Structure 1
Amino acid sequence: MKKIIFTLLLTGSLIVTGQEKDDKGTFTLSGSVDVYHTSNLKSGSPGSVGVLYGGSGAANGFGLGMVNTIFAYEKGKAGVVADLAYGPRAVAANMYEGAINQLYAYYKASDKVTLTLGQFNTFLGFEVISPTGNYHYSVSYLFNAGPFSHTGLKVNYAATEDLSFLFALTNPHGLTSGANPGNDYQLGFQTGYKGQYFNLAYGADGFGFTDVLYLDYTGGFDLSETFYAGINAAYSKSKDADAGYQGFALYLQNTFSDTFSLGFRPEFFTRTSGAGDTNVSAFTLSANLSLTESLKIIPEVRIDSSKDMIIPGFPGDKTMTGATLAAVYSF
């Protein structure tokens, strides 16, 4: 794979014009740091749901999210991105010890077609790994269900300003270190129209199953100058595993000023299996307060409820209420 990346970059550098050879290209550095305090209203419980991916946050008190540093360089039609992340939040979302969030090379074959090779964050879902890309600090059950990232090749085609397509061939998403010992693959597809996206992935998941189907709709609408409604609905099924999931979440946000807004995320999530389904719901109320252009404070209250007692980190509880105060600095 390294040889392919180097060949792709070399090809991009050889076809530039004489004038472009004198250009130094464009280098950018960006990233974020996030920290938080979390607590809950249940005595003896260890933390708050959704603060870290895959389960509950650390014990009541102060905690670290992650530091995220993105190096990007572009010259002519080719470029590379090294997105490095470290900390509990990054490690929980990335099996490669959180060091590499994304690492890829890309080539702009035309104004409409871009080829990308390497590890890149998933194109499915409403939420992303970095807290700078999410309104709420805690993450949804739909996002926790994955996938988080893919390693392989994707082709983006911008048919018009409103219509786009994506095609991908990747390793199973559960394998993020680049190895693929089972020689299994995953196919991906996306079509987008005016901010509404239908996503599909099918194949091996990297966790022992080769027939996993993922369907996802992600979109949203500006209902007024200040009110936005986002939507995420997803379905997954594996016949081999006789299991899957389905869920639905709304992202309702109202902007009151340039520095203050409120958001509410109701979510309903079901894990399906031949042995029977289990359900959980979560209701999250968050505020976004911008102290500066770079520093954002997120106070958040979240209530999770499950009669089937499947709340991550709280298997014996039917309800859990958590309060979190997070600070996210982006640069």
Structure 2
Amino acid sequence: MKKIILSLLFISSLVVTAQENEDKGTFTLSGTVDVYHTSNLKSNSPGSLGILYSSDDPAASANGFGLGMVNTIFSYEKGKAGVVADLAYGPRAKAANAYEGAINQLYAYYNASDKVTLTLGQFNTFYGYEVISPAGNFNYSVSYLFNAGPFSHTGFKLDYAASEDLSFMFAVTNPHGITSGANIGNDYQLGFQTGYKGQYFNLAYGADGFGTTDVLYLDYTGGFDVSESFFLGINAAYSNSDDADYTYKGVAFYLQNTFSDKFSLGFRPEFFTTTTADVDSSVSAFTLSGNYSLTGSLTIIPEVRYDTSDDGVVPFGKSVTGATLAAVYSF
């Protein structure tokens, strides 16, 4: 009898503890840290382009050691609602969000059902293949396509999961150039995404926050497992503004092969063209990157990148070859 009473008390305490934990919700902490060294194989030239987003700024990719960013993501969820505060510091974070470098993302969400999620606040863009945090990319340097597209949006979005394979997203946001502060011009940007089995079509239209109100962005992002070890990713994008008389278009391929649990090798060829007042400027970039996992959290990325252009896109000449060694830690 005594054992039965003790067992009932123990079970009761577990139930109370579970209820208390449910009432308190779920808190998670995660983030990344990245550092690097880059150098150019040609003297008196900058290091690898694309280390930071300002590819046309030689100071942003100078030879030597450099800091990427540290981001710390605080997430809390209770019931159907939750909040995310993603704080980021460092040159990479500042370049991605010059207005509020410390805030990478800050939003609240509500799971209206198993299929519908409503989000309000600042969130990273749905547009494009690559992301701000290097932990989410295979290559350490970023593409011209990523530089050209929006980084983050501030506003409202609705995600609808029609099935395990099919999804839709609708968004109304400030111009992407206004990630914080007042929308003085009272201009907005509309966003749409549809995804099917890992292939995504993205669209954004409206003001960009830099004085243009009719910018159209179209983007395809996807990939295929060619074999158990080989993956082919694709990013193709087009943007146009009649007001600014400006267009860009480009395509990048992500060829990645996994050789073991610890080592993978990837090659990214990219071709990018801008057109201003009927004048084209084109650049090609070829990036070879290795991913070596020292631990489950620490990845070493050796990378060689070659950028070439006859139209003055590459600083200090027609081509730049850079070598980079980066360390990315995720927690």
- Which is further off, 234-243 or 176-185? 176-185
Match of 1:271 in 2: 274
Residues 1:136 and 2:139 aligned together: yes
1:172-220 CA distance string (max 9 Å, x none): 0011114200000000000000000000000000010000000000000
Give the SS at the match of 1:83: strand
1:33 aligns with 2:36: no
Aligned-partner Cα distance in 1 for 2:65–2:285: 23
User: Percent identity over the alignment?
Assistant: 80
Matched residue, 1:50: 50
CA RMSD in angstroms, aligned pairs only: 1.2
Residue 317 of structure 1 and its aligned partner are, at CA, apart by 1.2
Give, in angstroms, the shift of residue 271 of structure 1. 0.3
For residues 75-224 of structure 1, the aligned pairs below 5 Å read: 75-224=78-227
Does the CA-based 8 Å contact 1:226-1:255 persist in structure 2? yes
TM-score scaled by length of structure 1? 0.92
How much does 1:24 deviate? 1.2
Q: Is 1:246 the equivalent of 2:241?
A: no
**Cα separation, 1, equivalents of 2:323 and 2:79:** 48
After TM superposition, the score normalised by the length of structure 2 is: 0.92
Bigger shift: 43-52 or 27-36?
43-52
Q: How far does residue 86 in structure 1 lie from its aligned partner after superposition?
A: 0.3
* 1:59 shift after superposition: 2.0
Q: What residue is the counterpart of 1:23 in the other structure? A: 23
* 1:229 equivalent among 213, 229, 232: 232
Instruction: Tell whether the 8 Å contact from 2:119 to 2:158 is kept in structure 1 after alignment.
Output: yes
Q: Secondary structure of the equivalent of 1:277?
A: strand
Contact 1:151/1:178 (CA < 8 Å) preserved in 2? no
Partner of 1:330: 330
Question: Counterparts of 1:20 and 1:247 in 2: how far apart (Å)?
Answer: 53
Q: What stretches of structure 2 of length at least 5 have no aligned partner? A: 1-18
- C-alpha deviation, 1:111, in angstroms: 0.4
Alpha carbons of 1:21 and 1:41: their partners in 2 closer, same or farther (altered >3 Å)?
Answer: closer
User: Retained in 2: the 8 A contact 1:72–1:79?
Assistant: yes
Per-residue deviation, 1:96:
2.4
User: Which structure has the larger Rg over C-alpha atoms?
Assistant: 2
Aligned residues: 310
Structure 1 residue 289 displacement after superposition: 0.2
Q: How far apart in 2 are the matches of 1:46 and 1:91?
A: 20
1:42 CA drift (Å): 1.6
Is the contact made by 1:95 and 1:175 (CA closer than 8 Å) also made in structure 2? no
The answer to whether the Cα contact below 8 Å between 1:85 and 1:98 also exists between their aligned partners in 2 is yes
Q: Distance in 2 between matches of 1:178 and 1:26?
A: 30
Task: Give structure 1 stretches of 5+ with no counterpart.
Answer: 1-18
- Alignment correspondent of 1:289: 292
**Is 1:280 aligned to 2:265, yes or no?**
no
Moved more, 262-271 or 55-64: 55-64
SS in 2 for 1:23: helix
Distance 1:242 1:80, change over 3 A: same
Change (3 A) 1:260 1:180: same
Instruction: Report if the CA contact (8 A) 2:50-2:61 is conserved.
Output: no
2:78 partner amino acid = K
Check whether the contact 1:95–1:177 (CA below 8 A) recurs between aligned residues. no
Structure 1 residue 321, shift from structure 2 partner: 0.2
